[in-house]
Structure 1
Amino acid sequence: MKKFDNKWIRAVIPALLIHCSIGTVYCWSLFKGDIASYIGRSVGEVEWAFSIAIFVLGMSAAFGGKLVEKDIHKSSMLAAIFFIAGMAGTGFFIYQKSLIGIYLSYGVVMGIGLGIGYLTPVKTLMLWFKEQKGLATGLAVAGFGLAKVIASPLMEKLLGERNNEGLLVNPANIYTMFYILAGIYLVMMAIGHLTLKKPAGYEEESVQAQSFSYRKVLTNKTFIGIWLMFYINITCGLALISQEKGILAFIGFGAIGLVSSLTAIFNAGGRIVFSSWGDRLKDRNSIYKIIFSSSIAAILLTIVFDGINNSMAILIITMLCIVNAGYGGGFSSLPPLLSDRFSLDHISTVHGLALSAWAFAGLSGNQLSAFVLEKTQSYDMVLYVIMALFTMATLISIFVVKPEKVYLESEEVNSKEEMAIN
């Protein structure tokens, strides 16, 4: 059935099915309070489940890159098993009122599925879209960003009505929701697993992938620079996004839900626009300079107009949209940039290692803005800190991430190749 072997059916649709499933991890804020209420714990205690999930996502991607490199069908199947088991397990442990069980199911088990699932379609997309790698990864990663917009109405429907205090009329809906979602995402990820396929003639594991040197990557100045840029962009994005609701409430803006949907659309749109824009640039690293400088400009403009206190609502919302777009664009622009620097042969492994930055940023982003607010009681100070970090990222992009291609084969393989040539 060669007519079905095309880039849309074998790469884009499977990637969207997988990423639209696992991207629902960002719907956490919709039901964390309901979980806390049902199991009789504080929201702060329950919140750790999400932090663990993001940390495990990054670390499982870091350690699972070699598996994805070897066999995308095995990795897509494992991603589905871990993600669905974690989703269903979360429902079970909510019913059991076990906080540790929620940490293990939502945080660890589902986190493993998130990391492997996030990584799995990326190389396949870039193999099918060799001339438009940025567009390809942007389409897939946009699914991760859009998942919240798509899933939120469904989750609200499954949770049901609330009383005047904002509590669920039927508290049992919180765990039954996870069972229903597990069934829906099982179907979606199974279809993604069955249809995902690399182009005909591509060998699953090349000699270059077998001879990959972790030491050369982790000690390489360019990789370290990219890792730091990526880490700072996520930290800044999470620091601002986590305060989005508070900022809007502080300025007295009522339509918070509308703005939340708008920023989510910019987040998803930035994933496509920035990465596909990078396809047209001589050096793909330039897209990060654009992302950082646009975020700095938006924050600076807000500060110039006397900060959060006196700036117009439209200006603050514009700033939130621009930073969200750059946050999303940073994710989708990462695989093509790594491919340009370290070759497509190694991309799953190198991308996985770079995603470890997401793990640490997931622990530091929200806490950074919360710490600054606690110490200063000022949203303006949060903006100053974020702008300073974006400035650091810009300097790293300019002075550390050079355009040279990096060769990662081990010394043993290189010496054998030189002997063969001689």
Structure 2
Amino acid sequence: MAAALASLHRRADVLFRALSSTAAEPTLTASAAKSHLHREHDPDRVVSLFEAIDAASLSASSTRHALSLAARRLSRARRFADADALLSSHLPASPTESQLAAILGAYASASIPEKAIVTFRSAATSLPSPISPLPFNALLTVFLRCHHHRRIPVLFTELSKEFSITPNAASYSILVKAYSMTGKDAEAHQVLDQMRAQGITPTTSIYTTMINSLYKHKKIEEAKRMWKQMLESGCKPDQATYNVKIMYYSLNGKPEDVLEVMAEMEAAGVKPDTITYNFLMTSYCKDGKVEDAKELYRSLGDKGCSANAGTYKYMLAGLCAHGDLDGALDVFEESSRREKVPNFSTMRRLVEGLAKGGRVAEAKKVVNKVKKKFPEILLSGWKSLEKELGLNSDSRDACSQAEFIYEKPLTESEAGTAEAPELKEPSANETECTLEEMPWGSA
């Protein structure tokens, strides 16, 4: 086993030097490298920047963050083998549990969860026995982040038995999340019973996950009973728990319903956060109260919050849906300054709206500005859109083309489209919804 790992490390080191040799970088501090890495999308340049970081300035968390960024860029370029080799090269021959957990976390960024299992099994034999839940939970989280929810219950049972791992509350939280994401609420309830039988108290996070699933499936009475059960168990709802309830009323109720839950939230001593206000803005847009949404958007700073990627995404989509292209342009400009440009399908709405309205020059300006932020490999979607709308030529029938394209349904997963710089992967508690869940859907 040790010989195999050593051979793998040697091959990875050769690859790493080859990737980095094309453009040697001056030595960088961890903070300077972080700034460069967030703006750089070319995978070879990212790996080169990673190699140039001064090791003395690296902490465990900064190493993990930089490694995840590099792995993500390689994955986006569909260089999965290179990403696997890069991650393997940074795993010591005899890793500690925390080192293994950190490397496993980066496999989610690389979108190669099955390779994470190979790494876990290879490294687990060198760990002290019994293995703690730390690397086990890290592996399960890889599958959670990669949305391979159906694999988690099987891995939970197999690996905990194979390596004599005793799952903890965090382990069960991941299992509950997996069941909830696949609509298996009955199985999630059984996990709660299993935890109690083992003397483990379910956490607020676990209750939040289950309440979220019940609300999403419109099982309102069951969600209320689960909320009551949470309170009776001694768990107090937090921001994420209230945001779950607020999300439901944002999508299915009126702004007054959202405000009522927010009042309940504040009465309990829980402060609304950016996600809370995102849902209130969504509710305003759905109800046609666009000016109220814009006023709330502009006042986020006064409320001690700052716009996140979701804010820009949903505000831009809502404003475009109501024909407020000038407002949408303002949102886009701010998102661009903060390096949080909404994803392709959201931005497409703005570009198509401008082109359909005869504002072709502005549509071109938006496209050109976005294209400058990404490498050539991520621009096929934008190039296709330019061709469809006639934005890459002086064609006089650009507007008629735009009117035809504007009626086409949009998807979140257009192949080869440019996405905004990544956010931190949401935890089991976070409650942002997808664009398809918004009231205006994909129209």
TM-score range, shorter chain: under 0.3
Normalised by the size of structure 1, how large is the TM-score?
0.27
Normalised by the size of structure 2, how large is the TM-score?
0.26
Q: Which has the larger radius of gyration?
A: 2
